[in-house]
Amino acid sequence: MEEENGYGGSSGPNLETSKAERSVWLMKCPVAVAKSWQNHPPSQPLSKVVFSINPLLPEDDPSHLQFTMEMSGTESVNMPKTYSLNMFKDFVPMCIFSETSEGDSVAMEGKVEHKFDMKPRHENIEEYGKLCRERTNKSSIKNRQIQVIENDCGLLMRPMPGMLGLISSSSKDKKRTQPVKQTDTKRTRRDRGELEDIMFKLFERQPNWALKQLVQETDQPAQFLKEILNELCVYNKRGANQGTYELKPEYKKSVEDTGAE
């Protein structure tokens, strides 16, 4: 017999559906904002959303409704304090779920009523440009260390006696061994913030890039790159740069300032 507000069976977790009809908002935020919220004290509010209506404009006008988010506190001095929230009208219906740390309970938190894209306001674009330059400078610092091997006679490089049977010197086996092509290897995703810094450096080199070129330059999965490009760039569907990506105006200005320095 199934339990109330869940699906039955002792083999899986129960699904709590008491909040299934609650309306929630889904917001895509920059990596810097997400990291700031993770380090924010839980007892204090994260931010404040200001909702304004212009009664002089028709309801179908994009400027009729405006959403602004004000951060309650930031770790970095150059962290923008105010952001614009652009609301999407057309998106796939979605629901929000949560899970306990033990994994024994899953709850439906509500249905997504509005979806937003978050970006710094025009008056904060200079601060955001400084933040991008800080991240670029940090990523350029090399943390690799060189270790000198004291025993330079090559003894540590020789195979142990028990490994001799695992190494084949047959010419036939060597012919069978073929190098793995780069296209067949599985690419590992980088940290999102680190990849954004690499993308900004590439667009400093040239303003337009094709997806295939960026995959070769970054050695990242194409689908993962598309997610980053949709946030940072505009895709040119026509014109002289057809089929290429270029930075959005708010990010292009910060990259130009970085190049000027």
Residues 130 and 223 in one domain: no
Residues 198 and 104 in one domain: no
Q: What is the pLDDT of residues 65-90, one digit of tens each?
A: 788 888 876 555 567 778 888 887 77
* 171 has pLDDT over 60: no
Alpha carbon separation from 232 to 31, 162, 235, 251 (Å, rounded): 12, 54, 10, 7
* pLDDT confidence of residue 213: 92
Q: What is the pLDDT of residues 13-40, one digit of tens each?
A: 688 888 888 999 888 887 778 887 887 7
- Has residue 204 been placed in a domain? yes
What is the residue type of 27?
Answer: M
Confidence band (pLDDT; 50, 70, 90) for 3?
Answer: very low
In the listed set 139, 156, 178, which residue is the last one of a domain according to the structure? 139
Measured distance CA(38)–CA(198) in Å, rounded: 23
* pLDDT confidence of residue 76: 56
Measured distance CA(260)–CA(248) in Å, rounded: 18
- The mean pLDDT of the chain is 76
| Domain with 205 in it | 192-251
* 9 has pLDDT over 50: no
Residues 21 and 99 in one domain: yes
205 vs 137: which has the higher pLDDT: 205
Rounded to an integer, the average pLDDT of 165-175 is 50
- Has residue 184 been placed in a domain? no
* pLDDT confidence of residue 184: 42
Rounded to an integer, the average pLDDT of 178-190 is 62
* pLDDT confidence of residue 166: 52
Residues 132 and 241 in one domain: no
What is the residue type of 59?
Answer: E
- Has residue 73 been placed in a domain? yes
DSSP H or E run through 105 = strand 105-120
Task: Tell me whether residue 79 is exposed, middle or buried, using C-beta atoms within 10 angstroms of its C-beta: 0 to 12, 13 to 18, 19 or more.
Answer: buried
Residues 129 and 20 in one domain: yes
Q: What percent of the chain has pLDDT over 90?
A: 8
What is the residue type of 24?
Answer: V
Residues 127 and 207 in one domain: no
pTM of the full structure: 0.39
In the listed set 98, 113, 139, which residue is the last one of a domain according to the structure? 139
* pLDDT confidence of residue 212: 92
Task: Tell me whether residue 114 is exposed, middle or buried, using C-beta atoms within 10 angstroms of its C-beta: 0 to 12, 13 to 18, 19 or more.
Answer: middle
Residues 128 and 200 in one domain: no
Nearest to residue 198, comparing CAs of 138, 243, 257, 124? 138
Residues 122 and 36 in one domain: yes
- Has residue 172 been placed in a domain? no
Residue carrying the six token digits 């909702």? 51
* pLDDT confidence of residue 208: 93
Q: What percent of the chain has pLDDT over 70?
A: 69
Residues composing the chain: 261
- Has residue 217 been placed in a domain? yes
Nearest to residue 138, comparing CAs of 196, 84, 54? 196
- Has residue 7 been placed in a domain? no
- Has residue 163 been placed in a domain? no
- Has residue 154 been placed in a domain? no
* pLDDT confidence of residue 8: 45
* pLDDT confidence of residue 211: 92
Collapsing DSSP to helix, strand or coil, 209 comes out as: strand
Residues 203 and 106 in one domain: no
Confidence band (pLDDT; 50, 70, 90) for 194?
Answer: confident
Residues 100 and 209 in one domain: no
In the listed set 119, 139, 159, which residue is the last one of a domain according to the structure? 139
Q: What is the pLDDT of residues 199-245, one digit of tens each?
A: 888 988 899 999 999 999 998 998 889 988 988 899 999 888 899 99
How many domains are there within the chain?
2
Residues 25 and 123 in one domain: yes
Residues 66 and 134 in one domain: yes
Q: What is the CATH number of the domain that holds 233?
A: 1.10.10.10
* pLDDT confidence of residue 101: 73
